[in-house]
Structure 1
Amino acid sequence: MRESSARSADGSFETSVPARLDRLPWDRFHTLVCVALGVTWILDGLEVTLVGSLAAAIAASPSLRLTETEVGLMASAYLLGAVLGALGFGWATDRLGRKKLFTATVAVYLLASIATGFAWDFWSLAFFRFLTGTGIGGEYAAVNSAIQELIPARRRGQTDIVINGTFWAGGAMGAVIGLVVLNPAVVDPEIGWRAAFIVGGALSFVILLLRRFIPESPRWLMTHGRPEEAERIVSEIERGAESRHGPLPPLQHGPIRLHPRDHIGIVEVVGIMFRRHRDRSVLALVLMACQAFCYNAIFFTYALVLTRFYAVPNEHVGWYILPFAIGNLMGPLLLGRLFDTIGRRPMITATYGIAGVLMAITGFAFAQDWLSAASQTACWTVIFFFASAAASAAYLTVGESFPLEMRAMGIAVFYAFGTGIGGVVGPALFGWLIEGGQRVDIMWGYLFGAALMILAAITEWRLGFAAEGRSLEEVSEPVSARARP
C-alpha cells in the first residue's frame, strides 16, 4: 500500500515514508547504498594506513627529511582538516541535502590526495594532508546520515557498524600497497610513497560514478517540505523490491505529521544538543573523543615504534600493519549483529571496556620490554578487534541521537570535537614521546589511552539508550514533528 501526503491548511502533512523504508526487505538497492557510500571508510583506512606504513619512508625522503615530531604533525594536519571539513560540510549537508554533499566531498578528497603525491616540503605535505582530511571529514557527516536514513531499522545497527569497520579493509589495502612501494627491489621508495597517494586518489573516480545512482534521502526531503518527491523515490525503491522479493510486509508503525521547515538555525541546534538531548551529547562526545585518541595516537605512529624500538626495516612494516588491519576488520564483521540483538548499551560498554583493560596490560608489557615486534602486533590485533567495533558503534550512536533535520550537523560536531580533542592531540603527543626514545614515557601514553576507553565504557553504561530495531523518528523525534508556536 502506497500512501500520498495531503497538506493541511497550515502546510503540515502526514507521511508514511519512514515506515515504508523500515519495512523493506534487504534488496540490491541497499547493497548499492552500502558499496557506493560505505567506500568512504575504505578510503579513510587506506589514507591512514598509508601514512602509518609510509611514515618512516616519508620521514627519510631526500626532499622532505621529516623528524618524528613532524610526522606526528603531518597526521595531525590531516585530522585537523577532517575536523573543519566535517563542520563545514555537515552544516551544508543538512541545508542542501545528502546527495549534493557526498558528491562534493569525494571530489575534494580525490584532488587533495593526488596533490599529496607531489608535495615538495613539510609545509606543502601538511597542507595537502589537511585538504585531504577536509574531504574525508565531510564524507563522515554526509555519508553517515544518508546510510542511516536509507537502511531498514532492524538492520541499521549491524549495517552501520560493519560499514564503519570497512575502514580496515582500506587499512589492509594500504598495508599491502606499503609492502610493494617500500620494496627497493620493486620501486624507489621516494617514488613509491608518492605513487601510493596518487593512485589512491585516482581510484575515487569510480566512487563518483557509483554515487550517481543513489537518490536523495527521502527522509531529508520530507522534513524539508518535499514529501511528494520523497514518496516518488520510495515508490521506485518499493517497486524494485517487490519485483525481486514479492509483496512487501505490512507497515510496522503509522504515519507521522510534519510541519516542514527549510532549515534550523545554529542557536536551535545548540539548544537541542545541550538542553533537550544533554545526556546524549555528553555520551557522544566521550565515545568519539576516547576512541579517536586511542586509534589515531597508536595507529598513526605504530610504524615509528616498529622501526625505532624493534628495528623493523621500513619495507617490512606492512607485514605488521596487515594483521593489525585484519583484526580491526573482523571485530565489526563478527560482533556487528550483536548490537541489534543483544543491544547497543551492553555491547558498546563491553567493547570499550575490554579494549581499555587489554591496552593497559599491553602498555605495561611494552615498558618492561617483554614483547617482540610480532607479539606487540598480536596484542594490538586482539585489542582492536574489540576497539574497532566500539569505535564504529560511536558513529552509530551519534547518528541515532539527534533529529533528522540536524543529523549531519550532529555527526559533524561530535566527530569534530572528538577528533579535535582526541585525534589531533594523540599523534603529535605520541610522536613526541617516541622521539624521546623512552619506553616508560610511551607506556604512560598507552595507559592514558586505556583510561579513556574505560571512561567511555562507564559513560555508555550510565547514559546509553536503546535504539535497536526502532525507527530513527522514534529514537529522536524530528524537529518538524512539533508545530512551531
Structure 2
Amino acid sequence: MTTAEAGTGRTITSDIPARLDRLPWSRWHWTIVIGLGTVWILDGLEVTVVGNIAGRLSEPGSGLPITSGEVTGLAAALYVAGACSGALFWGRLTDKWGRKKLFMITLAVYLGATALTAISFDTWWFFLFRFLTGFGIGGEYAAINSAIDELIPAQYRGRVDLMINGSFWLGAVGGSLLSIVALNTEILPMNVGWRLTFALGAVLALVILLVRRHVPESPRWLLIHGRDDEAERIVSGIEREIEAERGERLPRAQGSLTLHQRPSVTFGEIARTVFSKYRRRATLGFALFIGQAFLYNAITFGFGAILTTFYDVPTGSTGYYFAVIALGNFFGPLLLGKLFDTVGRRVMISSTYLLSGLLLFGTAWLFDQGSLSAGTLTACWCAVLFFASAGASSAYLTVSEIFPMETRAMSIAFFYALGTAAGGISGPLVFAGLTESGVVGDTVLAFQIGAALMCAAGLVAAALAVRAERRSLEDIAKPLTAAASAVPEGTGRRSRTATS
C-alpha cells in the first residue's frame, strides 16, 4: 500500500479490494451472513404477523381500541412511510458515517420500536411505533446490503445477496405459523398473544445485535474516508483467521486501486452520478423495482380475500396457504442464487422476471376458466413466486453493485424507497378493488397487470443488465474518488503491505 499527498486529501494505492475478493469461503463469512443477513427474517416475521393478527386486534378485549381497517390500512401505510423515509435518511448517513455505525443504530431503532409496539395501550401509540419500526427497517436495507456486498468475495456475492434478501420469506413462514398460535385463545389470552409476537421480534433483534458487534466496518469504506491503517488491520486479521482455519497461506492478491481520499461526497455528486452518468443503470433499477412491486401486490395484496371469496377458505386458515407460498419465495433465491454467479446476471435476471410474468399470465387464464381450486391456485402462485422472488432479490443486488462505492447505500435506499412506495401506495390503489370485488374478471385483470409489468422489466433487464458476475465492485463501477492512474513510485511514503 502506498500513499502520497494530493491537495487537501491523500492519494492512496491499495490492494485491499483485491485481497477481499480473493478470499475463499470461511467461517468468518458465515459470521457476516448471520450477523447482517438474518434481519430480513425479522422483517418478514413483522409484516406477516401484523397482517394476520389484524382481526384479533380489532376484537373487543384485545386491549387496543382499533379497527381491522386501521391495522391493515393506516398502520400499514405508516409502516411503509417509515420504511421509505428511513431508507433515505439512514442511507445518506451510511455513505457518510460508515456501514457498521449505521447497521448497529438502525437495528437498535427497530428493536426499541418493536418492543414499544408490544405495550401499545392506544391507537396513536400503536401507529407511532409502527412508523418507527418501518423507519428502522428501511435504514437496514441500505446499511446491510452495502456492507454485505463490500465484505463478500466477488465470486460468491450474487448467491449470498439473493439468499439473504430471500430470507424475508423464511420470516414470513414463521410469522404465518406464529400468528396461528397467537390467535388461539386456548393457548394465550386475547390481549396477550399479539403482544408476545412483537416482543419475540424484539428479543430476536437483540440476539442479532449482539452478533453484529463482531462484524467489522467495511474496509472499502475506510479506504475512501482516509482510514486506511484501520482497513489494513481489519483485512490482515481476516486473512490470518482464514489461514489458520485452512492451514495454508492465501495466494497473493492481484491488482490495486488508486484513490484520492476525502471525507464525504456531496448529495449533488451522488444525484449526477446515478441519474446522469449512469442513466441506463438507473433505468434498469427503476424497471426491476417497479416490476416486482406490482407483481407481488397483484398476488399478495388480495391473497386472503381471493381464497375466502372464491374458495370459501375460512379466514383462520389462510395462514397455512400463505406459509406454502412463502416457502416457494424462499426456495427461489436459495436454489437459483448460484446461477447468478455462474450463468450470469443478465441471463438470470431477465429470465426470472420473464418466467414469473408468463407463469402469472398462465395462472390468470386458468383462474378465468374456473380450472383452479384453492390448492392448485396456491401451487400456481408458488411456481410464479419461486422465480419472482429470485428476480426481486436480484433487484436489490443490482442497485447495490452497479453504482460507485460512494453512492452505494444511497442508491439502495432510493430504489428501495421507490419499490416500497409503489407497493405500499400504488398497490392498494390499483389492486384493492380488483381482488376484493368478488368478480372473476377483476382478479384476472389484477394478475395481468402484475404479469405485464414483470415481463416488461424482464425485457429491460435483457437489454440493460450489467454483467457483474464474479467482478470486483470497483471494476463494475469505478469509485468517484478513484485516480485516473496509479501514483508514480517514490511520490509518497510506502506503508506496510500485507498481501499474504
TM-score range, shorter chain: over 0.9
Question: 1:463 aligns to what?
Answer: 464
Kindly tell me: are residues 273 and 360 of structure 1, through their superposed partners in 2, closer, same or farther at Cα, counting changes over 3 Å?
A: same
Question: 1:478 aligns to what?
Answer: 479
**SS of 1:12's equivalent?**
strand
Matching residue within 237, 249, 273 for 1:247: 249
Question: 1:219 aligns to what?
Answer: 220
Map residues 56-205 of structure 1 onto 2, 5 A cutoff.
56-60=55-59, 63-64=64-65, 66=67, 68=69, 71-120=72-121, 123-205=124-206
CA shift, 1:381, in A, is 1.1
Question: 2:375 aligns to what?
Answer: 374
Matching residue within 5, 14, 39 for 2:2: 5
Question: 2:491 aligns to what?
Answer: none
Larger helix share, 1 or 2: 1
Q: Which amino acid aligns with 2:344?
A: G
Question: 2:492 aligns to what?
Answer: none
Question: 2:364 aligns to what?
Answer: 363
Kindly tell me: are residues 134 and 428 of structure 1, through their superposed partners in 2, closer, same or farther at Cα, counting changes over 3 Å?
A: farther
Q: Which amino acid aligns with 2:39?
A: T
Answer with 359-368 or 88-97: which moved more.
359-368
**SS of 1:480's equivalent?**
coil
Kindly tell me: are residues 72 and 443 of structure 1, through their superposed partners in 2, closer, same or farther at Cα, counting changes over 3 Å?
A: farther
CA distance in 1, matches of 2:320, 2:76: 21
Q: Which amino acid aligns with 1:42?
A: I
Kindly tell me: are residues 64 and 306 of structure 1, through their superposed partners in 2, closer, same or farther at Cα, counting changes over 3 Å?
A: farther
Answer with 217-226 or 67-76: which moved more.
67-76
CA distance in 2, matches of 1:313, 1:55: 15
CA deviation map 1:386-434 (0-9, x unaligned): 0110011000000011111110011001111122123432145434444
Kindly tell me: are residues 310 and 116 of structure 1, through their superposed partners in 2, closer, same or farther at Cα, counting changes over 3 Å?
A: farther
**SS of 1:25's equivalent?**
coil
CA distance in 1, matches of 2:281, 2:239: 34
CA deviation map 1:24-79 (0-9, x unaligned): 11111110000000012111111122133334434556645535586144333222
Contact 2:294 2:449 in 1 (8 A): no
Contact 1:116 1:129 in 2 (8 A): yes
Kindly tell me: are residues 305 and 47 of structure 1, through their superposed partners in 2, closer, same or farther at Cα, counting changes over 3 Å?
A: farther
CA deviation map 1:330-353 (0-9, x unaligned): 111110000011000010111011
Answer with 92-101 or 437-446: which moved more.
437-446
Question: 1:29 aligns to what?
Answer: 28
- Identity of counterpart residues, as a percentage? 49
TM-score, normalization by structure 2: 0.91
CA distance in 2, matches of 1:449, 1:477: 35
Contact 2:344 2:469 in 1 (8 A): yes
Question: 2:53 aligns to what?
Answer: 54
Map residues 199-348 of structure 1 onto 2, 5 A cutoff.
199-245=200-246, 246-251=248-253, 253-296=254-297, 298-348=299-349
Question: 1:43 aligns to what?
Answer: 42
Structure (1 or 2) with the larger CA radius of gyration:
2
CA distance in 1, matches of 2:54, 2:384: 23
Q: Which amino acid aligns with 2:2?
A: S
CA RMSD of aligned residues (A): 2.1
CA distance in 2, matches of 1:164, 1:223: 27
Q: Which amino acid aligns with 2:408?
A: R
**SS of 2:481's equivalent?**
helix
Kindly tell me: are residues 434 and 192 of structure 1, through their superposed partners in 2, closer, same or farther at Cα, counting changes over 3 Å?
A: farther
Contact 1:289 1:423 in 2 (8 A): no
Q: How many residue pairs align between the two structures?
A: 480
Kindly tell me: are residues 309 and 49 of structure 1, through their superposed partners in 2, closer, same or farther at Cα, counting changes over 3 Å?
A: same
CA distance in 2, matches of 1:61, 1:482: 66
Contact 1:324 1:377 in 2 (8 A): yes
CA shift, 1:250, in A, is 2.6
**SS of 1:402's equivalent?**
coil
Question: 2:15 aligns to what?
Answer: 16
CA distance in 2, matches of 1:464, 1:250: 32
Question: 2:489 aligns to what?
Answer: none
Answer with 114-123 or 155-164: which moved more.
114-123
CA distance in 2, matches of 1:255, 1:429: 50
CA shift, 1:196, in A, is 1.2
Contact 2:296 2:450 in 1 (8 A): no
Question: 1:401 aligns to what?
Answer: 402
Kindly tell me: are residues 191 and 430 of structure 1, through their superposed partners in 2, closer, same or farther at Cα, counting changes over 3 Å?
A: farther
Kindly tell me: are residues 5 and 28 of structure 1, through their superposed partners in 2, closer, same or farther at Cα, counting changes over 3 Å?
A: farther
Answer with 234-243 or 474-483: which moved more.
474-483
CA distance in 2, matches of 1:61, 1:293: 35
The answer to whether structure 1 residue 414 and structure 2 residue 415 are counterparts is yes
Kindly tell me: are residues 285 and 364 of structure 1, through their superposed partners in 2, closer, same or farther at Cα, counting changes over 3 Å?
A: same
Contact 2:297 2:450 in 1 (8 A): no
TM-score, normalization by structure 1: 0.93
Name stretches of at least 5 consecutive residues in structure 2 with no aligned partner.
486-500
Structure 1 residue ranges (4+ consecutive) displaced by more than 6 angstroms after TM superposition: none
Contact 1:73 1:427 in 2 (8 A): no
Question: 1:387 aligns to what?
Answer: 388
CA shift, 1:368, in A, is 4.7
CA shift, 1:9, in A, is 5.0
**SS of 1:263's equivalent?**
coil
CA shift, 1:180, in A, is 1.1
Kindly tell me: are residues 427 and 33 of structure 1, through their superposed partners in 2, closer, same or farther at Cα, counting changes over 3 Å?
A: farther
CA distance in 2, matches of 1:468, 1:248: 22
CA distance in 1, matches of 2:309, 2:471: 49
CA shift, 1:189, in A, is 4.6
CA distance in 2, matches of 1:119, 1:254: 55
Contact 1:105 1:139 in 2 (8 A): yes
Name stretches of at least 5 consecutive residues in structure 1 with no aligned partner.
none
CA shift, 1:84, in A, is 0.6
**SS of 1:466's equivalent?**
coil
**SS of 1:104's equivalent?**
helix
Q: Which amino acid aligns with 1:148?
A: D
Contact 1:52 1:301 in 2 (8 A): no
Answer with 60-69 or 13-22: which moved more.
60-69
